[in-house]
Amino acid sequence: MINFLIKRLVSSIITLWVVITITFLLMHAVPGGPFDKEKALPKEVKAQIMARYNLDKPEVWQYGQYLKQLSHFDLGPSFQYPGRTVNDLVKSGFPATAQLGFTSVLLALILGLPFGIVAALKQGKWQDNGVMFISIIGMTIPNFVFAELLLYFLGYKLGIFPMLGWDSWKNLVLPAFALGAAPIAMISRLTRSSLLDVVRQDYIRTARAKGVPEVIVIYKHALKNALIPVLTYLGPLVAGVLTGSFVIETLFSVPGMGRQFVNSINNLDYTVILGLTIFDAFLLILFNLIIDVLYAVVDPRIKY
């Protein structure tokens, strides 16, 4: 296990460096700059601003300086938010995004796993058909359409939940369901297909032949092995929802990182783009590593 973790740590650092390098090169390859929209600025003032942020230096020098800053966990200043750093933007936006993301993942597990189990145990029956029908709807309807439906019926028509704001747990319900709709559908399908494959294995037949109660056969022996595909899906899912959804956060006025990410791209705010991309890549690498470790916990047959 220790050797595995060391190898993964080294490969993760290399992967993160490649992401940083490619993102840096692509940003500087895009025509324009973070201050080109300020057409009213005199050339002298613009030159002073460029010099202040070292944007007048060669790109190789800027790249080296950025890597040096990163070694001190400094993501640099924001060009579009004077007086604020990228670290400040992450600290201000991440709590709301994380709260929304973890809630949507929790909903996906609470609803998706039981739906998938019921569909597998009732294969070919109305329960199975119903779960598969709901899963297809959840995977095909875009989350912004689902969000609009929730806003209209549960927010506007019935008034059960507030439509906008972020000051109570009720504000979390609608965006969490909108963001979690597709994961609920995906986890249901993965659980169903994987469980159907596992229950056909010889050791499950043996357990049933020995008279082991069906509940124990399913939940103790079959389900653990059936969760491997679900765990694989959870890694990128958790990393994705923790970096924010621009559409959902905009529709529900969530003060998260999703809007900051898109605004930084529109404004060519180099440091914010780089910082949020690095943060996204770090979370993706971290949760994939956690999932790899959990494989051995769920299935002892897996060795490193």
Q: Are 175 and 254 spatial neighbours (Cβ–Cβ below 8 Å)?
A: yes
Quote the CA–CA distance of 77 and 53 in Å, as a whole number.
Answer: 8
User: In the predicted model, is pLDDT for residue 63 greater than 80?
Assistant: yes
Angle at which helix 86-121 crosses helix 228-242, to 10 degrees, equals 150
Give the CA distances from residue 166 to residues 175, 236, 257, in Å, rounded to whole numbers and listed in that order: 11, 26, 14
Quickly state the pLDDT bin for 39 (edges 50, 70, 90).
low
DSSP H or E run through 286: helix 270-298
pLDDT digits (tens, 9 = 90+) for 134-165: 999 988 888 888 889 998 898 888 888 888 87
DSSP-assigned letter for residue 297: H
Residue type, 42: P
Residue 49's pLDDT is what? Answer: 76
Choose between 80 and 64: higher pLDDT: 64
Residue 264's pLDDT is what? Answer: 82
**Domain ranges across the chain:** 93-263
Taken in order 31, 37, 43, 45, the sign of the CA dihedral is negative
Residue 303's pLDDT is what? Answer: 66
pLDDT digits (tens, 9 = 90+) for 87-122: 998 888 889 888 998 999 999 999 999 999 999 988
pLDDT digits (tens, 9 = 90+) for 194-246: 999 988 888 888 888 888 888 888 888 788 888 888 888 888 888 888 776 77
Q: Are 281 and 15 spatial neighbours (Cβ–Cβ below 8 Å)?
A: yes
Residue 112's pLDDT is what? Answer: 93
Nearest to 260, CA basis, from 252, 66, 249 = 249
pLDDT digits (tens, 9 = 90+) for 3-32: 878 888 888 889 999 999 998 888 888 777
Quote the CA–CA distance of 102 and 246 in Å, as a whole number.
Answer: 16
User: In the predicted model, is pLDDT for residue 289 greater than 80?
Assistant: yes
Average pLDDT for 236-265: 81
Average pLDDT for 33-55: 73
Residue 242's pLDDT is what? Answer: 77
Residue 183's pLDDT is what? Answer: 93
CATH number of 93-263: 1.10.3720.10
Residue 37's pLDDT is what? Answer: 65
Q: Who's near 30: CB < 8 A, 6+ residues apart?
A: 268
User: In the predicted model, is pLDDT for residue 186 greater than 90?
Assistant: yes
pLDDT digits (tens, 9 = 90+) for 68-78: 988 888 888 88
Average pLDDT for 253-264: 82
Classify burial at 174, counting beta carbons within 10 Å of its beta carbon; exposed 0-12, middle 13-18, buried 19 or more: buried
